[in-house]
Structure 1
Amino acid sequence: MKKLLFSVFFTLLLSALVFAGGQQEEGSKEAVKKKIIIDGGGGIVQFNSTKSMEKTDANPYPYNELETLCTEWEAIHPEYEVEILDQSYGGGSDKIIPLLAGRKAPDLLFTLTINAADLGGKGWFLPLDEYYDKPNPYIEGNKKWKDIFVPSWFDAMSFPDGHIYSVPLDHIPIGIIYNKDIFEKAGISSLPESFGELMETQKKISDAGFIPYFPLYVWYDIFLEGSLFADLLPQIDVLRPDGWSDAEEIVRAYKKGIWEVDGVRNREYFRMLKEKTKYYPEGWQSFDAFGNFLQGKVAMMEGVGIHLRMTRDDQQREFNFGYMPYPLVTKEDSPFGGKGIVRGSAGYSSTWFLTNSAKEKGTVDGAIDLMMFLTEPSNNARLVNTLEAMMPASLDAEVSPLFEPLVDKAVEDMNNDFCDWHVFNSWGYLGSEYYEFFLQLVQKYELSQITIDEALAQLAEQTEYTVEEMIQKNNWDTSAW
């Protein structure tokens, strides 16, 4: 009898333990959170938290706003956990391709647009079109998420297959920062409004003993090409009419002879590229433009928001500075001029891609919701404006006072029906290999290492190869052209 009672007791005890263990295991499963990993990178600045929030000379712009916003989002969605990498992979293909191929990339990954075009068609990024057509739940009255973005800039994010794979967080304040004191010493009382006036201004500054102008990047080169080809937009922008020329439309224009690499119009573009360098300093290919500008040796410097911020905050600067929009290309400057290009902003910069890792882990819906949260105007302003280097991507987001004049100029130009920044940029949309080839070729030409005939002959050969490769790679139906 005792054995029987003990057996019954032991069985009940074991059952209770198993039941309790099962409940505990089930509870543990419920407590397991899905983890969304964010790369945190950006086109000009990164959104990863700094190691310290103490402002020092070594850490002049402490930042943790993305981390703070993600914590707020986690409180709304306790089933998710967000991890932000300490440092972004930087968007370079060499670092992110192994991660994407091995399905080990962060759920939300930054990469440069020029690299992204080369990475398409492999299933590494997930198309977001269906999500953009849905309301953003964090914006009252919003019917389609995509409506909060500038339409032409939004369309410019599309891949060669026509799909959108990324979410923009910011756009680029851009123009020319100038030394007001040098302008005064050179007797210049008005800012150059055209390419011709820019060259005249450079001569006056050079005669006054200063380096007139130098770029930090080839932004004005993009602006010039768009200015010279903008009137061809009705012939080029036909496959997806949206105010700019995408990769397939550029390739189509080449095949139909609308864009001629060795044509008169492209020769004019190359002529202006070289003329722009007329007053560059000796050995300019290794010239420290920003350092010399801050020392008061350069009168005008192309720059973006971060350079405007750094100029303002530089403790050694001993001159007054201002900002000017890019000078337009008029009919007086070139027979192909006369079409205005929107100034003040160069469009979206920091765009995050949803990767195959999110699909594998089942975090797609959470990652999309998080991006909707981050692009809600007030959140987007917090995310971006804290850094004072860029402008928020959302149309209704407040802009840092430092960049308000740039926004005003962009809005003014848009209201005057100026063409979009991306209206035509051949070397920016035909892949990274073509991009690098073009920049190296142009530098050789500008340094007079090769003639314009040699430059265009080499470019024509590279273009023919690139065009055929892109047609095959993207399976474009040329019969529909």
Structure 2
Amino acid sequence: MGMRARHFVKPTAAVLAMMPLLAGCNVSQSSSSTKASTTDYTIRMYAGGFTPIKPTKLNPDPPTALQTLAKQYEKIHPNIKIKFVTEPLALGTTYNDYAGWLTTQGDAGTAPDIVWDQWLQVNGGFVPKGFFTNLAPYLKQPDPYVSGNKHWGDLFNPVFQQELTNQDGSILAIDGDYVDAALVYNKSIFKKVGIKTLPTTFADLTSDLMKIKQAGFIPLAYDLSDQTGTSWWERMAATEFLQPDIAKFNVDHQTSTLSPLDYAVGIEWGYIQMTNPRYAEVWKLLKQFSNTWDSGSTQITNSPPAAGNSLVSSLQLVAQGKAAVAWAASSSIPWLNNSGFSKVYGVLPFPVITKATSSYSANLDVQAVVGGPNGNFQYFVPTQKANHTLTPDKLKWVINWLQFIATPQNSAKVVDQVGGTVPTMVGAKATNKDLLTLIPTKKVPLSVGSFNLDLGAQATDDLIRLVQAYITNQLSYDAFASQFDTKLQNAAAAWAAQNNVDLSKYKTK
């Protein structure tokens, strides 16, 4: 997708001293739409993975771009101070840990003025309605930091803007980067076995992988060690095969992501069950696909090598020329570049599963249902109910600060400093060129995957162990299917009981 250049106003005398850091993203004085503040405000922001922190031995080069931008902003607006919240960085590693912290803060009216969150979870109902401010009206206003801009929303990728928009037209987040899971391949191995054209269909991919296997290389270093690889596969294949059924259990009528209620209904009434041949095909095809993997898939992780991790890194195997392909998150790819392997690998989207592979195919490109605008540059503004300090006047300045960091050039500085995701604002120049081909240019299909239901840690672990046992021939398909269905049914029933939902009233068969 082409990125068109934008022109920016010449900076005023107030910001000439900051020209080296603002090159390409010139800032107008104070803000043409917001008069100088007569009140001192401190804007508290939790910036997720872009949170500026002090260097440590484990993290000697933390992100600093937002801190630099904050200093620039404070010089332009002396009455405004930007303070970065770091408490969530010390929480557990799961989204539920963070969501629990944020909900607790909101219940007390002490949520930060700006927070990172996952729009999929927020739009899907994991955060109480009314917790976040509708930003749609502000996106219709000009961004005062971009010359000639009439609507701030025009600066954002239109495909992702469509995804972020709720049915009622509300937009709760601004989003400026893209994360994906892609096939990372070793260029030398592909050349040695004579693969001249990259696969675009699943049938081509499996044929190429078998050719690689016959040549003595590990075809695909597949991560079956935890939920990651399995969740990615289910999301892509289920989205493809369940197309005729989705409308029957999308009772919340979502347009971008199904809600927990939708998943519970889909499980309760047999759409997300092995008794549905379309859903069963997801796991039968995974079993066939496993013929092209390394036999040690339960000992392979798609994460880069890390101290204390006993699992073999799939990326390391590709970099060393032992494996031809790995399925990895884009956030892991900077490891290849930083380790001197930038010329060794290439990146390609996961190919389309066509009818040549399965009669249940809808011939959809489902690459983006795993990736998407789900990275670190997802920022929400709590309502005054969740943040008692957020008066209408302060809210104007919170939005103004967001407009300052969410220009194409400033957002690119923030995103590119960390790497692993791609800046997506119109006109932003990405340094990670390998990932640009993964950004979708068409509407992304509604994603389906049972692991998106809040199953709970134990249920999720049990399901993963079942998949591992099935793929490694410790369970027959019938035994796997029966136990998997039972786990899903129990998880849906537990969710319904916890949320006082009567699933019987949603019967659609």
- Normalising to structure 2: TM-score of the pair? 0.71
With over 3 angstroms needed to count, the CA separation of the structure-2 counterparts of 1:251 and 1:341, relative to structure 1, is: farther
Correspondence for 1:108 among 111, 114, 119: 114
Identity of aligned residues (%): 20
Residue 360 (str. 1) matches residue 383 (str. 2) = no
Residue 410 (str. 1) matches residue 440 (str. 2) = yes
Deviation at 1:371, TM superposition (A): 2.0
Deviation at 1:335, TM superposition (A): 0.6
Deviation at 1:406, TM superposition (A): 1.3
Residue 425 (str. 1) matches residue 429 (str. 2) = no
The aligned counterpart of 1:3 is: none
| Deviation string, structure 1 residues 71-118 (Cα, Å, up to 9, x no partner) | 233234333210124575267433562464244543323344576557
1:450-461 matches, within 5 Å, as: 450=475, 451-461=479-489
With over 3 angstroms needed to count, the CA separation of the structure-2 counterparts of 1:454 and 1:256, relative to structure 1, is: closer
With over 3 angstroms needed to count, the CA separation of the structure-2 counterparts of 1:478 and 1:230, relative to structure 1, is: closer
Residue 336 (str. 1) matches residue 360 (str. 2) = yes
Correspondence for 2:490 among 457, 462, 476: 462
With over 3 angstroms needed to count, the CA separation of the structure-2 counterparts of 1:280 and 1:227, relative to structure 1, is: same
Residue 191 (str. 1) matches residue 218 (str. 2) = no
Structure 2 Cα separation of the partners of residues 94 and 57 of structure 1: 22
Structure 2 Cα separation of the partners of residues 252 and 145 of structure 1: 38
Correspondence for 2:276 among 235, 238, 263: 263
- Quick check: 1:174–1:406 contact (8 Å CA) kept in 2? no
Structure 2 Cα separation of the partners of residues 271 and 161 of structure 1: 38
The aligned counterpart of 1:79 is: 79
Correspondence for 1:206 among 191, 201, 213: 213
Letter in structure 1 aligned against 2:448? N
1:37-436 matches, within 5 Å, as: 37-42=44-49, 46-49=50-53, 51=55, 59=60, 63-85=63-85, 89=89, 92-94=95-97, 97-98=100-101, 100-102=103-105, 103=108, 104-112=110-118, 119-121=126-128, 125-132=131-138, 134-138=140-144, 139=146, 145-150=152-157, 153-154=160-161, 156-157=163-164, 164-215=171-222, 217-218=228-229, 219-230=232-243, 232=245, 240=253, 242=255, 245-250=258-263, 260-287=273-300, 288=312, 289-315=314-340, 317=341, 320-341=344-365, 343=367, 346-349=371-374, 350=376, 351-355=378-382, 359-362=387-390, 363-400=394-431, 402-403=433-434, 405-406=436-437, 410-411=440-441, 414=442, 420=444, 422-431=445-454, 433=456, 436=460
Instruction: Provide structure 1 residue ranges, at least 5 long, that are not aligned to the other structure.
Output: 1-29
With over 3 angstroms needed to count, the CA separation of the structure-2 counterparts of 1:478 and 1:157, relative to structure 1, is: farther
Letter in structure 1 aligned against 2:113? D
With over 3 angstroms needed to count, the CA separation of the structure-2 counterparts of 1:391 and 1:466, relative to structure 1, is: farther
Deviation at 1:176, TM superposition (A): 0.8
| Deviation string, structure 1 residues 236-256 (Cα, Å, up to 9, x no partner) | 668647466455555555566
Q: Which moved more, 1:370-379 or 1:393-402?
A: 393-402
| Deviation string, structure 1 residues 135-163 (Cα, Å, up to 9, x no partner) | 24335565654454445544545789996
Structure 2 Cα separation of the partners of residues 220 and 133 of structure 1: 35
- Quick check: 2:186–2:319 contact (8 Å CA) kept in 1? no
With over 3 angstroms needed to count, the CA separation of the structure-2 counterparts of 1:427 and 1:129, relative to structure 1, is: farther
Q: More helix per residue: 1 or 2?
A: 1
- Quick check: 2:48–2:116 contact (8 Å CA) kept in 1? yes
Structure 1 Cα separation of the partners of residues 263 and 240 of structure 2: 16
| Deviation string, structure 1 residues 48-76 (Cα, Å, up to 9, x no partner) | 25539xxx9974x6642111222233234
Aligned residues: 435
- Quick check: 2:186–2:325 contact (8 Å CA) kept in 1? yes
Q: CA RMSD in A?
A: 4.1
- Normalising to structure 1: TM-score of the pair? 0.75
- Quick check: 1:48–1:87 contact (8 Å CA) kept in 2? no
Instruction: Provide structure 2 residue ranges, at least 5 long, that are not aligned to the other structure.
Output: 1-36, 301-311
Structure 2 Cα separation of the partners of residues 440 and 369 of structure 1: 48
Which protein shows a greater Rg?
Answer: 1
